[in-house]
Every structure is written in C-alpha cells, then in structure tokens.
Structure 1
Amino acid sequence: MAEAPSLLSLCIALVTDEIVQRDDVPPALYDLPPDLLDTLALQLPPLALHNLQSGMPFELQNEDEYDNGCLVDGRKRRRSSNFNLAWKKNFNLRWSKLTDAIQPVDWQQIYWERHLQSCLDEAAEIASLPSFSKCIGEIEMSDSILKYIASEKSIHFWRAKYRNLSYHCQEFGCYALCLMLQSVLCVSEICHILRSCKLQKLVLRWIRFPEQVNGLCKLLSQNRETLTSLELIHCKLSSTSVNSICDALIHNRKTHGILHFSINASHFDETDPVALPSGLVSFFSSGRYLYSFKLCDNDLGKNFGKLVFHTLLDASSCLSALDLSENKMTGWLSNFNRRSLTGLQASSMVGKSLQSLRVLSLRGNGLKKDDADNLRYALFHIPNLEFLDISDNPIEDDGIRNLIPYFIEASERSFPFADLNLENCELSCDGVTQLLNVLSTLRKPLRSLSVADNSLGSSVAGALGVFMGKSIQILNVEGIGLGPCGFQDLVEGVTEGSNIVNINISKNRGGIEIATFLLKLLSGGSDLVSVNASYNLMPVESLDIIRSALKIAKGKLELLDLRGNNWDDQKAQDSLVAEFQNSVKKILIYSSSPTLDGLYDGDP
C-alpha cells in the first residue's frame, strides 16, 4: 500500500496548482518561511518560477548576487541563489544530456537563453515555408515548446499572446547572451522583437541577400556595445556586404569591441581580389581587442590571403589567433623569401610584426615545398608564435626540411615555439626521421607534435622512440603504418619516465605488439592521462596483457580507447571493463571489429 502524502506535500501541491493557473503570484506567498518557498520553487514549471522570482520583494532577495541585467520595475533586482537549484532541475528535465557538460553560474539565464534559441529555430522553420506571409513576431510556438515552460492547466498554455514569438523574445531576451539566427529571420523586424537582448555572441547562417545583410547590420548596431563575438557560416558575401557589416561594428569609433570574428564555409564574390574590402581594412586597424580572426573553407585565393596578412602587419595588429584553413592559397607567401629579407623589400617590412600572434592555422591550403620555404621567412615577422598547423598540405620532405631552420631558431626564444601539426603532408620516413632527430636536440623541446596520416612505415620507430624520451607531452602518430615491427622497436627504444600526457597510436595495425607497448608505456608514464589505441587489429590475447598494464599503471590515466579491434570474445571484453569500472580509468570498447576507416593505414 502506498504511503499517504504528508499535509505539507498536499499544501505545496495545492499552492503549486494555484500558481500555475494564474498570470500573477499572490503576494501572501512571499510571507512563507524561506525553506517552504524554496520547496515550492522546486515544484514549479519555468514560467511560474519566473513569475515567482520576478515578483519577489526586493528585501527578500539574496544580497550577494545580481542578475544578468534584466530589469524589473526599472532597476536591477537581486535574485535568490536558492532558486538556482530549481532552475537547474528544470534545465535537466528539458536538456538532460547537457546538464553535466555545462556548469553555469546562473541556471535561470542559461535556461531562458536555450529556450529562446529553441523558439527562434522553430520560427525559422516556419518562416522558410513558401506559404508564410506573417510578421516574424506573430509566429506561434508549438505545444512541444510550450509544454516545457508551462502546465497545460495554465493560462500561459492557451492564451494566444503567450504563443507568439514576440512574447518570448521580449520576456526572455534579456537572458540571452548568445544566439544563432538563420537568414530568414534577419529582417528589420528582428531588431524590434530582440530589443531587450544584450548579445555578447551572435552566429548567423545562410545570409545571402542585401535585405538580410541590412537586417543583420541593424541587429549589430543595436548590440554594438556588448557584442564580442561574430560568426558567419554558409553566407554569400560581396565587398559591399562586408563593408556594411564592418561599418555596423565600428560606427565611427576608433576601436571596436569584437574579440572573435569568423567567416566559415562561405562564398565571397571576389575570391582573389586586388584589394580587401575597405571595411575589413578599417576593422583590422581599429581592432585593438581583436583576439582571433578566422577565414576557413571559403575557397579564397592567394591574393586574399596575402592581403589579409599584409594588412594585419601594416596595422600592427594585436591578434592572437589567425586561421586561414581550407582555402586555395598556393603561392600566397611568394613575396617572403631570402631576398625579401635582404633586398629592396626589406625596407618596407622593417619594424612590422605580429608580436601578439600565438596561433597560426594554414591547414588544407594547397601549400607545397616552395610555400613552406616562403613560410619560413614569413614567420620571421611572427616572433612569438607558439602553435602552427600546416596539416593537409603536400609540402613533402623538402618542405619540412625548409622549415627545420625555423624550428631550431624558434626554440631559442624566451617564449619558444611549442605545438606543431603536420598531418597528411605527404611526408616520408626519411623526412620525419630528420625532423625528429632535430626536434630531439632542441634546447626547449616541443609540447605537442602530430605527424598523423603520413605513410612513414615501421622504420621511423627508432627516431620516434628517442623523441618520446624527451619532454614531448602530446603525440599523435595515428595511421602512419608502424605495424608490429614498429611497435617492437618502440618497446626497445622508449625509456621509462617519459613526459607523455596524451598519445594517439590508433590505426597502425600493431597487433599484439600494441599491448606490449602499452604495458611499457603505462608502467612508466606517471603523467599519462589519455591513450588512443583503437583500430589496431589486436587479437583477443592482447586483453590479458592490457589488464596487466592497467594494474601496474602509474599516475593519472583517465582514458584508454580500445575500440575497433579483433575481439569476438564479449565475455573477455566485459570482464576487462568491469574490473576497472570503479577506478578513475575509462575504457572504451564499443565495437568488436575494425571498420573500413581502420584499415586504410597499411604499412607501405
């Protein structure tokens, strides 16, 4: 027989029903003791909880915390941190998979921000229909959205005004710090319905027409004082539209407040111009606080890249991260070479450098060996670079040899070069062996290196073993074709006590020798946190060796990825996972056989 409810729970349920059916909160509720008010808050759906908190007398609010800027009765209202648990509960009911992934200070703010994003996403779907002819603000939210914020017994669920997009934007816009808008919503009206927002980050998709650019610019102007991040994805941009967007951000000011600006997977009318849009030049020159600039996957030609780089140099930009990945920029650094440092061009470059630039990504730009040589001289103007990604460029062995003098010179700096990505660069064993031999002798060694997806073969293992004994912390050798022979050599070459923190040895067809290598690696790597050994054709006999390795493992291991190996013995797999499920180690074994993706990396 079920236990009878207590008198308190019955009273709380009765009061809850009363609140959710009203458009206001009875003032007498605020006379309840704080513990009862907190208990009541935990029972309320979001809209009723919002009304309860908004109507709370100022003197009852928590004096130590302030809201995110939403105004109530013309002044900032203090809020009760005790209600934060109620907001977290409501968030978890709606987005349970995200609850553990985020830890906001204010769950109320993040709840209404995500709710508003859901409303805008649904509105964009409706507005995209050919039959749509209403104003954006008149779009009605579906029951599937309303049911999360209001009880079906409440007036909020049935009254028309609570269904309109305009209501949700005006009521909860003040909680939104970050929004993503589809182009169909970028009309003049959007500024009006989002007028209570003080956006810090804005993401735009599929902007293509002048009227959409106009709507966007009005929204940028409206949030100019608070906006710090702007991202454009899948947009079609002319020089005129770029100028308009940049002008909206600057608006006759000496400096703008944008920290992060990104244009990804978009189309420029002029991909290889003779000059940059004037607005973009002004944006760079007034970007005192600009931290990162990304132009990725836009099919931009070499002139665009050259103009961006020289404009940043001329502006003595304070940029920290520049990403020009996935463009068509073969030859974009051709004016940087040995002659440019000693000839007539040198005088025009004197004193020009990107002192603050720490991260440079040129991934997938079609760079070849001559481009690598030019890059060496261009890097002379980036004296404090720490991270360089030139993956997916066919620079070959000659290209990496051209860069070796730079790595030697950079290791002598006060803030040395630390991270290098050379994935899929058509490198051979000879070129990488030469590189590893040099890197092993640097005064200040690298922090991370990736040579993944280059056909190196087992012969590289000797130099790799010596290199692993240095101070390298993060190493990615996925898919380089080490094979069983390569891992045998690594077992002999790797010394105990390495500084490796994260290593990826996946897709190398190492067989049982992988397990032997793991035994040595885990027994000596006190700093090791993560190992990816997936897709290596390990037989089931490897499990006993891996079990022994885990038992003697020292230090901080958190993740061991063993997916995609030849283990048909489900019982043996389950036994391994069960043995260590209560430890800090997380073992991933999701599939029992390699996929096609795991078979491409045969030993050449």
Structure 2
Amino acid sequence: MAKSPSLVNLCLGALQNHILYGDDDDGIVQGIYELPTELFDGLLKQLPALALHKLQLQMPLGRQADFDLDYHCSGNGRKRVRYGKFDIAWKALFSSRWRELVKHFQVNPLSYKSSLECAETFDWKQKYWETHLQNCFDAAAERAMLPSFNGCVGEIQIPGALIKIIGYDESAKGSMHHYSRLCGHCQDFGCYVRCLRLQNMFCNKETCQLLASSQLQCLLLRRISSDIHIDGLCMILNQNRETITSLEFVNCKLSLVDLEAICSTLVIEGAQAHAVKHFSVKASKLLEANPASFPPKLISFLSSRSLESLSLCDDHIGRNYANLTLRALLDASSSLSTLELSDNNISGWLSDFRCNSSNQALSSYKKSKSMQSLRVLNLRGNNLRKNDLEDLTSALIHMPVLETLDLADNPFEDDGIKCLIPHFVKTFEHFPLANLNLKNCELSCNGATDLLEVLIALKYPLTSLSLADNDLGSQIAPLLGDFMHTSIRSLDIKDIGLGSSGFLELRINMPDVVKLISINISENRGGIQAAEFLGELISKASELVDVHAGYNLMPPESLNIICSALKIAKGELQRMDLTGNQKLCQADNLLALSEFQHNGEPIMLISSSSSQDTLYDDDP
C-alpha cells in the first residue's frame, strides 16, 4: 500500500499549484515569505523551475537578504552576500537537468581573492533559462527544417517534455497555452539569454522580435548560405551590436560581400568600432579563396583594437586570403592575441617575409605594431613546406611575445624544422616559446635530434612539446631522456616507434626528479618495458597528473608494476589511460584498481575485454 503524503507535503503542493496557476489576488504568494525557515526551505527544494521563477519574481526586495547565505571572502575578512537559497535551488535544478554541463560552469567562491572578484557571482538562474531556451530553439529547428513547414517560427509548438520539465502541467490548461509555442518561452525567458546557437531559418526579423529582451554576447550561426540569411542575421546583429563579443560561423557559405555586410552592421554608432573580441569561421566555405583585395569594412573590422582572437579553420581559403588577412592585421595596431588559420591550403602565404622579396615588404612590416600582442599562432594542417618554414622564421621576429606555435600536420620534414631552429637560438633569452606542436610533420630521428640538442644546450624553457606521429624510432630515446632534465611539463611522444628498447633507454636517461605534469606514450609497442618506464616515472614525477599509455602491447603483469609504483608514490595522478592494452584485462589483480581514485573516480582506465579492442594497423 502506497504511503500517504503528509499534511505538510500536501500544503506545499497546494502552494506550488497556486504559484504556477493562481492569480494571487489574496496575497498568498507574498505570505509565503513569512513561512518559518524550515518550511520555506522545504518548499524551495521541491519547486520546479517555473514555480521557482515566479516565486522569486514576486519576492519583496526588503526580504532578499533574509534568504541569502553569507560567507567570509578569503583575504579581506568582510562578509558579502553570495549564493543565496534561490541560487542553491537553481543550481540543483540545473544539475539535475543538465548534469553533464555542470562541470563547465562550476565556480568556487572561496577561491577568489579580491573583493571585486568576490562580488561577482555565477547566476545559475540565468544559465538555467538560457540553456532551456537553447533547447527550445533546437527543438523548433527540427520542425522548421521539415519540408512541410511554412509558418512563423514563433508559432512552432514546443515538445511536451520541455514544457513538463519546467513544471507546467499541460493537462491543467489544455494543449494550447502560453508555453505551448516558442514565442511564449522567448517572451518570459529571453531576457536571460547571453549565448545562443541559431540555425539559418532563425535569421529573420521575427527572431529579432522574439529576442527583443535579450542582450546577446555570444552568437553561433550554422548553415548561413543565402542573402536572405545574411539580411536576417544583420538584423539580429544590429539589435545586439553593443553587447556582442563573440561571433562564430559553422558550416556556412560566406562571400566577401557577406562579410562586408556583417562587419558594417557591427560598427557601433559614434564609436566607429565594434565590440567583437572573438571572431571565428569554421568548417565553412569562404567563396573567394584567393581574392585580390579585401573590402574596406572587413579590413576595418580585422584592424580593430577590440578583436582579440581570429579563427579561419577548415574554410577552403588559399594563400591570398591568408596573406590579405595577415596584411590587415599587420597594418593596424590591434590587440589580437590568437590567430588560427588551420586546415586550409595556404602554402606560400608568408612569402612577403622573405628577405629577398622584391617588394621590400619586410622593411615596412618591421614598423608594425599589430603582432606585438600575438600569443597563439595555429597553422595546423596547411600543407606547409620547407620554404614556408623559412618565411615563418622571418615572420616570427614580428611576434615577440608568441607563446604557442602549432605546426602539426604539415609535411615540412627535417629541412623545415632546421629552418625554425635559428629562431630558438635568437629568442630564448627574451621571449621564448612555451608550447610547440610538431605532431605529424614527417620528421625523422635526424630532424628531431637537431631540435632537441639545441633545446637542451640552450636550456630552452619550453613547457609543452609534441613530436607525436613522427617516425623517430628508438634511437631518439636517449635524447628524450636528457630532454626530461629541462623545464618541460607536457610531452607528447605518441606513435614515434620507441619499442621496448626505446623505453629502456628512456628509463636509463631519465633524471631523478621529473617535472612532467602530462605525458602521452601511446601506440609505441613498448610491452613490459613501457610498464617499467611508467612505474619509474610515477616515482620520480610527483606532479604528474595525466598519463596516456594506451596500445603498448603491455602483458598482464604490467598492472602489478604500475600498481606497486602508485602505492609507494605520493603524487597527484588523476588519470592514467591504459586502454588498448588488450592483455591487461586478463591480469589477476583487476579488483586492486578500485583502490586508486581521484574525486571518487578511478584513476586507471583499461579495456573491459580484449574483444572490444581494435588491433594495431600492423598487427597480424
């Protein structure tokens, strides 16, 4: 027999229904704030989102502090109102609905130091309704894309599951009610939207009206491909041009005329500038791959001091497009800190930097200020060759504070890396690189040796290096061991052909104290020697957090070696990925793995059975 609800629960349920559907002419909602703390707290815990929203809207301002929690702000001894009971309730609702997103929004107020930072709060209510409205737009997009759809997007019916989850009972009001359509959700919750992803069918005047109360800061557009889409998008941008700081296009088709219209719309009246800090076009097609020039509004946009990051990734652009982009940046005094031109085909785009260039462009670029703030340069997957690396070496002189250089997936081979080495020699005392990615650049042991010998000799303060997916062989192992004596913190040597002999050499040459935080040794066919290396590394690298060692043909006894090292070590290891080592699941002490955890999660990841693992490409 089912347990009967208590009188208190029946009363709280009645209050919830009144908050949701009542007119409150008799002041019942106002009276809720007079409830004893225990009853009020109990009510907050059981209210769905819509009821909590309505209750909070009607809370008298004079009672706000009565329902807040105080805590001592670290460092200044002053109490500040923070994370009140409503905030706790909103966080609980968000966590129960979007558990996988919570980790991206976690904020620890006690970690803040200054009083200004302590005053800042993470608004779980705002994030709840923003994410809910995104779900509504996504659901509406599915219906709007149907060939049979021919109506107003605001009139699209929202799935019952999205209505029910916020606490509205459709059976109480019938199928057609305020929240049955997209427009109702936009009307009540649009004011909470700061970031939004929109499909092309929402780029129109009606969406501007639906989002009239929004103050968009981040906008991601998908499948923009026609003049109608551009015209509608410009309406949305015009409505939010003073607040928009991030603009991203994915799977779009954009001409220079389109970009000119967008850039013109973003200009704030009176300021002759825009507020956009981050501009990105990814997996799209920029129709003029090699234009002769850029239109003036686009140049002005790229030259603006507000722009901090620019990404043109996988957009089918050619060398001229990349070169014109660089010229626009060089000719201005922008604050650009990140430039990504990855996964295009721009070989030759830096030819203006060649010292023998007939147009003498290099001398004029020496006066440029625009690249003085560039810290991240991503040129991954651009088919760059030796000549491009020669040009890049000259260009890097004009990027004095560059910290991260990503050259992965470019086939410039040993000759290319030799062109880059002089840059390390010239800059290591002043503004050295911190992160270098040379993954899959068709390097041999000779090229990698030349690079590592220079880095070791200079004691170059590189903190992150990737040599992954280059066929270096076991001969590189002694030098890699010597390299671990430097300040390197993250090392990626996945699939470089170390083999068991290479891991043995690594152990022999490894220092007594290793500063590594992260290492990837996957796919090196190290066998038992890979396990021996890991055991010794764990004992010597007290700050080691993340290890990838999958697909190394480790035998079952490898687990004993690794577990023994973990028991002795007093490190900070959070994750060790051993998946793909098929025989580890046959080990006798699998239950012992549960002993090693971080924040309640197992540290070591192994495959559940050998049948689930794929074989190496060269396995029989």
2:572 to 556, 564, 571: 556
Q: Distance in 2 between matches of 1:130 and 1:20?
A: 37
Does residue 62 in structure 1 map to residue 65 in structure 2? yes
Amino acid aligned to 1:272? N
Question: Matches of 2:611 and 2:325 in 1, distance apart?
Answer: 44
Aligned position for 1:504:
520
Shift of 1:303: 0.5
Distance 1:494 1:292, change over 3 A: same
Q: In the alignment, is residue 83 of structure 1 matched against residue 99 of structure 2?
A: no
The aligned counterpart of 2:327 is 310
Q: CA deviation at 1:161?
A: 2.4
Q: Secondary structure at the match of 1:149?
A: coil
C-alpha offsets along residues 349-382 of structure 1, whole Å, 9 cap, x if unaligned? 2311411000000000010011111110011111
Change (3 A) 1:598 1:302: farther
Query: Partners of 1:479 and 1:569 in 2: how far apart?
Result: 22
Q: Aligned in 2, Cα 1:374/1:157: closer, same or farther, shift over 3 Å?
A: farther
TM-score by length of 2: 0.90
* Whole-angstrom distance in 1 between the partners of 2:23 and 2:139: 25
> Residue 202 of structure 1 aligns to a residue in which SS?
strand
The letter for the 2-side match of 1:225 is E
Aligned partner of 1:114: which letter?
A: T
Question: Structure 1 residues 222 and 42 mapped into 2: Cα distance closer, same or farther (>3 Å)?
Answer: same
Where does residue 56 of structure 2 map in the other structure? 53
Deviates more, 1:377-386 or 1:35-44: 35-44
For residues 87-166 of structure 1, what are the structure 2 equivalents within 5 Å? 87-103=90-106, 105-152=122-169, 155=172, 158-166=175-183
**2:219 maps to 1:216:** no
Q: Distance in 2 between matches of 1:217 and 1:83?
A: 37
Aligned to 2:481: 465
Distance across 1 between alignment mates of 2:611 and 2:478: 27
For structure 2, the 5+ residue unaligned runs are 69-80, 108-121
> 1:273 maps to which residue?
291
- After superposition, the CA RMSD in angstroms is 2.5
Name which of 476, 494, 500 aligns with 1:484: 500
Could you tell me whether the CA contact under 8 Å between 2:196 and 2:216 is conserved in 1?
A: yes
Letter in 2 for 1:52: L
1:572 counterpart residue number? 588
3-state SS of paired residue (2:402): coil
Residues 344 and 210 of structure 1: CA distance in aligned 2, closer, same or farther (over 3 Å)? closer
Letter in 2 for 1:41: L
Q: Residue 262 of structure 1: which of 274, 280, 304 is its match?
A: 280
Instruction: Find the partner of 1:359 among 367, 376, 385.
Output: 376
The answer as to whether partners of 2:320 and 2:349 remain within 8 angstroms in 1 is yes
Matching residue of 2:47: 44
| Residues 312-345 of structure 1, C-alpha deviations (whole Å, 9 max, x = no match) | 00012210000000001011112212335x9944
Q: Structure 2 residue aligned with 1:379, among 396, 403, 409?
A: 396
Question: Does the CA contact (< 8 Å) of 2:607 and 2:613 recur in 1?
Answer: no
How many Å apart are 1:83 and its aligned residue?
1.1
What secondary structure sits across from 1:161 in the alignment? coil
The one-letter amino acid paired with 1:38 is D
Letter in 2 for 1:269: L
Shift of 1:454: 0.5
Q: Does 1:284 align with 2:284?
A: no
Q: Is the 8 A contact 1:522 1:552 kept in 2?
A: no
CA contact (8 A) 2:353 2:362 kept: no
Q: CA deviation at 1:256?
A: 1.5
Q: Please tell me whether residue 400 in structure 1 is matched to residue 403 in structure 2.
A: no
**Offset, 1:544:** 1.1
1:412 to partner: Cα distance:
1.5
Which of 345, 349, 357 matches 1:328? 345
Q: Counterpart of 1:179 in 2: which secondary structure?
A: strand
Corresponding residue SS for 1:160: coil
Q: Which residue of 1 aligns with 2:15?
A: 15
Cα pair distance change 1:187/1:569, threshold 3 Å: closer
In the alignment, which residue of structure 2 is the partner of 1:440?
456
Residues 219-245 of structure 1: CA distance to partner in whole angstroms, max 9, x if unpaired? 111111111100011111111110011
**What residue number does 2:465 align with?**
449
- Please give the alpha-carbon distance, in whole angstroms, between the structure 2 residues aligned to 1:461 and 1:294: 36
Q: Which residue of 2 aligns with 1:72?
A: none
Q: Aligned partners of 1:310 and 1:600: how far apart in 2? A: 44
| Cα 1:79/1:586, change in 2 over 3 Å | closer
- The answer as to whether partners of 1:422 and 1:450 remain within 8 angstroms in 2 is yes
**TM-score under structure 1 normalisation?**
0.92
**532, 539, 564: which one aligns with 1:523:** 539
- CA drift at 1:93: 2.9
Unaligned runs of 5+ in 1: 66-77
Cα separation, 2, equivalents of 1:244 and 1:255: 14
Residues 251 and 84 of structure 1, relative CA distance in 2, 3 Å threshold: closer
Encode CA deviations 1:191-233: one digit per residue, 9 max, x unaligned.
0010010011000000011111111111111111111100011
Q: How many corresponding residue pairs?
A: 588
Question: Residues 112 and 412 from structure 1, CA distance in 2 versus in 1: closer, same or farther, beyond 3 angstroms?
Answer: same
